């Protein structure tokens, strides 16, 4: 198949969260299965200035945006050893900004930025020509692509049979904009109805993608079920109506980047046999990095993630306020996000020096070191489409303590007596979104940690699990093949 992956972020070009990890690794997994894959990303200033081998293609065109046009300049990156070509759509005015989507507030012209991106991706697909099988669109930023395919680009031979697949990484971000932004799309107002692009008076780019796509996927089977009932952020009805084409495929991880036995950011490589030595070295390096004295023997409990409500940060804050005082564990938090959460976490670090360490910021290298150093990783999310943190934790021998929601259900096996007996247990799972439940699950984990043989078996189970893209890459390829075998969906 000829597949075009359209995403607003991808490792190593630009990253704010797990989408970038997926959009970085999935294309290579698909290419590894023998498919021809290209990726389209916005040409953010940060992506262009990291020394990656990015070159002009000579392809330039004007993109219609409302009553005017904006220029797109196409760059290409081909990295040694990588099979997928990455195209970057450069436009200084729209993408030469300090961050991807905005700071404390979203950029006010995000509608225009990603309408431009989606339309430019369509134009590029036409100019590259040769016929496409699948246009794979990720999240609301690419949500217009399925509509463009059916409305403005239905008769373009250069696109071939091109079916569209919309992958939802998070229903909570829908790309909702005021209705006048409809004018920027170039799509006729007759599509601005509740059955198509309108959502409570606004233009919804995610809904648009879900309506027009030939197939829909999300990043875990459990989340695929949840969003049809109560977790669909208002789009449950639409998702239930489209459940015949909605599937869940759990994310893989890039095992060339996340491999404790060959990770250049760690002071000492490690595997199952020498995990304790590896963790000891990582803890010493982490302490030095944080400017702390050498670590003590207490278990190290980590939280790494965006500091937003979804991630259960309020539970972590309450947990620290309650239990950091008893000094049984050492906590490290690495994150960035809401100023309120950042402030409360900093305050806790001041109240409990030596027991609570907080690093506010986005630091890829440090996230590897923290996973390697940690014994336990907390993922107490309110909802979690898939979650990658718990996958990295398991691979690095850090036992996840997670809430039973979304992809966390599909990727962590609770240490029940049966699961321990069967050698399957890899973590601790709790039910209600409540600090008491989190605290009890952490207590169970700490009690297990005190039992050497039990802990070693949990760590070995966790490290042994295969999270490579092999299986999920094949699932995506199967989904694409099934989508190609069906007639294209008609809308309206």
- State which of residues 18, 27, 232, 400 lies at the interface with ligand ADP (CB under 6 A): 18
The one segment of 107-115, 324-332, 339-347, 380-388 that binds ligand GLC by CB under 6 A:
380-388
State yes or no: residue 14 binds ligand GLC (CB under 6 A).
Answer: no
In the complex, the smallest distance separating the C-beta of residue 336 from ligand ADP, rounded to whole angstroms, is: 5
State yes or no: residue 17 binds ligand ADP (CB under 6 A).
Answer: yes
The one segment of 13-21, 100-108, 189-197, 440-448 that binds ligand GLC by CB under 6 A:
13-21
State yes or no: residue 406 binds ligand ADP (CB under 6 A).
Answer: no
State yes or no: residue 246 binds ligand GLC (CB under 6 A).
Answer: no
Query: Could you say which residues in the range 105-164 bind ligand ADP, by CB under 6 A?
Result: none
Q: Which is nearer to ligand GLC, 18 or 473 (CB)?
A: 18
> Residue written as tokens 């539970």?
315
State yes or no: residue 435 binds ligand GLC (CB under 6 A).
Answer: no
Phi, psi angle pair for 290, to nearest 5°: -90, 0
- Residue 308 tokens read as 């937003």
Residue 351 has, within 13 A of its CA and on its CB side, a CA count of 16
Q: Which is nearer to ligand GLC, 91 or 220 (CB)?
A: 220
- State which of residues 247, 389, 461, 483 lies at the interface with ligand ADP (CB under 6 A): 389
State yes or no: residue 8 binds ligand GLC (CB under 6 A).
Answer: no
For residues 320, 383, 171, 105, the Cα torsion angle rounded to the nearest 10 degrees is -10
Q: Which is nearer to ligand ADP, 2 or 306 (CB)?
A: 306
- State which of residues 213, 313, 334, 477 lies at the interface with ligand ADP (CB under 6 A): 334
Query: Could you say which residues in the range 154-183 bind ligand GLC, by CB under 6 A?
Result: 169-170
The 3-state DSSP class for residue 106 equals: strand
Q: For strand 300-307 and strand 246-248, is the pairing parallel, antiparallel, or unpaired?
A: unpaired
Instruction: Residue 184: name its binding partner from ligand ADP, ligand GLC, none (Cβ under 5 to 8 Å by kind).
Output: none
The 3-state DSSP class for residue 403 equals: strand
| H/E segment holding residue 371 | helix 364-373
**What are the C-alpha distances in Å from 114 to residues 45, 138, 204, 206?**
16, 12, 12, 12
Alpha carbons 104 and 225: distance in angstroms, whole number? 32
Q: Which is nearer to ligand ADP, 66 or 102 (CB)?
A: 102
Q: For strand 215-218 and strand 163-168, is the pairing parallel, antiparallel, or unpaired?
A: parallel
State yes or no: residue 364 binds ligand ADP (CB under 6 A).
Answer: yes
State yes or no: residue 380 binds ligand ADP (CB under 6 A).
Answer: no
- Residue 267 tokens read as 């002071």
Residue at shortest CB range from ligand GLC: 18
**How many binding residues for ligand GLC (CB under 6 A)?**
14
Instruction: Residue 247: name its binding partner from ligand GLC, ligand ADP, none (Cβ under 5 to 8 Å by kind).
Output: none
With both helix axes pointing from N to C terminus, report the angle between 435-449 and 313-323 in degrees, rounded to the nearest 10: 60
Q: Which is nearer to ligand ADP, 65 or 385 (CB)?
A: 385
| H/E segment holding residue 421 | helix 417-421
SS3 assignment for 230-283 = CCCCCCHHHHHHCHHHEEECCCCCCCCCCCCCCCCCCCCCCCCCCHHHHHHHHH
In the complex, the smallest distance separating the C-beta of residue 169 from ligand GLC, rounded to whole angstroms, is: 3
Phi, psi angle pair for 68, to nearest 5°: -125, -175
Residues whose CB falls within 8 Å of the CB of residue 319, separated by 6 or more in sequence, listed in order: 378, 435, 438, 439, 442
State yes or no: residue 336 binds ligand ADP (CB under 6 A).
Answer: yes
The 3-state DSSP class for residue 377 equals: strand
- State which of residues 25, 144, 215, 219 lies at the interface with ligand GLC (CB under 6 A): 219
- State which of residues 13, 18, 182, 392 lies at the interface with ligand GLC (CB under 6 A): 18
The one segment of 32-40, 126-134, 289-297, 328-336 that binds ligand ADP by CB under 6 A:
328-336
State yes or no: residue 174 binds ligand ADP (CB under 6 A).
Answer: no
State yes or no: residue 387 binds ligand ADP (CB under 6 A).
Answer: yes
Residues whose CB falls within 8 Å of the CB of residue 315, separated by 6 or more in sequence, listed in order: 380, 433, 434, 435, 438
State yes or no: residue 387 binds ligand GLC (CB under 6 A).
Answer: yes
| H/E segment holding residue 360 | strand 356-360
Alpha carbons 336 and 391: distance in angstroms, whole number? 20
Footprint on this chain of ligand ADP (rule: CB under 6 A): 17-19, 21, 304-306, 334-336, 362-364, 367, 386-389
Footprint on this chain of ligand GLC (rule: CB under 6 A): 17-19, 22, 169-170, 219, 251, 384-388, 407
């Amino acid at each position: 198949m000829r597949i075009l992956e359209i995403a607003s972020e991808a490792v190593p070009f630009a990253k704010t969260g797990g989408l970038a990890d997926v959009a970085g690794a999935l294309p290579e997994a698909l290419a590894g299965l023998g498919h021809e894959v290209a990726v389209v990303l916005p040409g953010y200033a940060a992506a262009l200035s990291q020394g990656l081998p990015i070159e002009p293609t000579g392809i330039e065109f004007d993109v219609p945006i409302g009553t005017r046009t904006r220029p797109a300049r196409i760059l290409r990156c081909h990295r040694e050893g990588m099979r997928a070509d990455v195209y970057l759509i450069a436009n200084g005015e729209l993408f030469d900004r300090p961050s991807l989507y905005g700071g404390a507030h979203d950029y006010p012209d995000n509608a225009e930025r990603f309408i431009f991106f989606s339309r430019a991706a369509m134009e590029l697909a036409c100019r590259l020509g040769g016929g496409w099988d699948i246009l794979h669109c990720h999240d609301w930023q690419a949500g217009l692509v399925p509509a463009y395919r059916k409305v403005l680009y239905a008769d373009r031979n250069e696109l071939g049979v091109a079916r569209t697949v919309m992958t939802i990484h998070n229903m909570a971000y829908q790309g909702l904009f005021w209705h006048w932004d409809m004018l920027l799309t170039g799509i006729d107002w007759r599509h601005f109805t509740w059955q198509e692009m309108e959502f409570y008076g606004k233009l919804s780019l995610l809904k648009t993608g879900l309506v027009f796509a030939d197939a829909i996927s999300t990043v875990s089977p459990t989340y695929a079920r949840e969003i049809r009932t109560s977790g669909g952020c208002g789009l449950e009805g639409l998702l239930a109506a489209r459940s015949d084409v909605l599937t869940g495929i759990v994310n893989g991880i890039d095992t060339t980047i996340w491999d404790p036995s060959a990770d250049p950011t760690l002071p000492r490589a490690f595997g199952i046999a020498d995990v304790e030595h590896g963790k000891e070295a990582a803890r010493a390096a982490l302490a030095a990095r944080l400017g702390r004295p050498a670590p003590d023997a207490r278990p190290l409990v980590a939280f790494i993630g965006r500091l937003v409500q979804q991630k259960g940060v309020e539970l972590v804050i309450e947990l620290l306020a309650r239990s950091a005082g008893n000094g049984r564990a050492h906590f490290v938090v690495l994150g960035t996000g809401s100023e309120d959460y950042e402030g409360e976490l900093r305050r806790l670090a001041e109240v409990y020096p030596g027991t609570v360490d907080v690093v506010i910021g986005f630091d890829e290298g440090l996230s590897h070191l923290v996973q390697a150093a940690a014994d336990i990783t907390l993922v107490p999310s309110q909802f979690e489409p898939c979650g990658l943190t718990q996958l990295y934790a398991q691979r690095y021998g850090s036992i996840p303590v997670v809430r039973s929601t979304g992809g966390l259900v599909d990727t962590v096996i609770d240490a029940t007596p049966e699961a321990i007996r069967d050698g399957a247990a890899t973590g601790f799972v709790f039910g209600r979104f409540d600090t008491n439940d989190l605290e009890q699950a952490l207590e169970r984990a700490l009690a297990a940690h005190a039992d050497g043989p039990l802990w070693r078996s949990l760590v070995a189970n966790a490290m042994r699990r295969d999270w490579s893209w092999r299986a999920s890459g094949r699932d995506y390829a199967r989904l694409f093949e099934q989508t190609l075998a069906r007639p294209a969906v008609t809308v309206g």
